A = this chain, B = another copy of it.
Amino acid sequence: MAPTTETLTAERILEATEEVLRRHGPAKATVVDVARALGVSHGSVYRHFRTKAALREAVTKRWLDRTSEELAGLVAGDRDPDPEARLRDWLAALFAAKRRKACEDPELLATYMVLVGENGEAVGAHIADLTGQLTRIVAAGVAAGAFAPAADAETTARALFHATGRFHDPSYAREWTEPDIETDFTAVVDLLMRGLRA
Contacts and interface: CB of A to CB of B under 8 A. Distances in A.
A107 B196 CA distance: 40
Contact of A163 (B155, B158, B171, B192): B192
Interface in A152-198: 155-156, 158-160, 162-166, 171, 183-184, 187-188, 190-196
Contacts of A188: 159, 162-163
Interface string A135-157: 00000000000000111000110
Nearest to A151: B187
A10 to B, nearest CB: 32
25 contacts: A150-B190, A150-B194, A151-B190, A151-B191, A155-B183, A158-B184, A158-B187, A159-B191, A160-B191, A162-B184, A162-B187, A163-B163, A163-B164, A163-B166, A163-B191, A163-B192, A171-B171, A190-B195, A191-B195, A192-B192, A192-B195, A194-B194, A194-B196, A195-B195, A195-B196
Given A149-B194, A163-B164, 8 more contacts: A149-B191, A150-B190, A151-B187, A159-B191, A160-B191, A190-B195, A194-B194, A194-B196
Interface of A: 149-151, 155-156, 158-160, 162-166, 171, 183-184, 187-188, 190-196
